[in-house]
């Protein structure tokens, strides 16, 4: 069984992440998809990307490898270096693994688990940037109104 379609979806995902494109993310994720992130916790996928893109000035992605699971059908992961520039001027770079679960019928992403060392993306107080999530969500809601 060919797994090329999973690799193609992951490459498209990384392109959407690099571009900060909600349109690409909507194309790739199921309506009920969730993202689990070390900083933001468990969130509906589109809500997660709205917050992420609202707090990001620039994303650089250097793909290292894509792995397809030999034990779980429709599961794959991407290892990459992520250069993340935040709207507050903070700039960081770290290795990251994104683990994708794909829905069986339409081959869209049903869940995503993001794994990385959050030590590099915490502010001086030790609080994650996610502590701003409620305010960011409020700002996004106001922009859409």
pLDDT, tens digit (0-9, with 9 covering 90-100), for 61-93: 999 999 999 888 899 999 999 998 888 887 888
Residues 6+ apart with CB under 8 A from 122: 128, 129
pLDDT at position 125: 41
CATH number of the domain residue 140 falls in:
3.10.450.50
Question: At which residue do the structure tokens 């990459």 appear?
Answer: 80
- Alpha carbons 7 and 66: distance in angstroms, whole number: 7
Model pTM score = 0.81
Encoded tokens for 109? 């992403």
* Residue 140 confidence (pLDDT): 46
pLDDT at 133 over 60: no
Structure tokens that stand for 20 in this block:
């900060």
How confident is the model over 37-69, as pLDDT tens digits? 988 899 999 999 999 999 888 999 999 999 999
Number of domains in the chain: 1
Q: Give the closest residue to 6 by CA, choosing from 72, 102, 79.
A: 102
Average pLDDT of span 92-98: 92
Q: Given this model, what pLDDT does residue 33 score?
A: 97
- Is the pLDDT confidence value at 141 over 50? no
More confident residue, 21 or 120: 21
Range of the domain at 25: 4-144
């Amino acid at each position: 069984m060919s797994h090329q379609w999973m690799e193609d979806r992951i490459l498209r995902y990384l392109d959407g992440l690099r571009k900060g494109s909600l349109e690409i993310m909507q194309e790739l994720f199921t309506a009920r998809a969730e993202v689990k992130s070390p900083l933001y916790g468990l969130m509906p996928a589109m809500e997660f990307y709205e917050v992420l893109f609202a707090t990001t000035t620039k994303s650089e992605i250097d793909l290292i490898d894509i792995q397809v699971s030999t034990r779980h059908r429709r599961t794959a992961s991407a290892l990459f270096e992520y250069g993340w520039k935040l709207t507050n001027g903070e700039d960081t770079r770290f290795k990251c693994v994104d683990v994708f679960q794909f829905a069986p019928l339409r081959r869209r992403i049903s869940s995503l688990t993001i794994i990385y060392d959050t030590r590099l993306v915490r502010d001086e107080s030790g609080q994650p940037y996610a502590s701003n999530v409620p305010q960011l969500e409020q700002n996004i809601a106001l922009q859409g109104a």
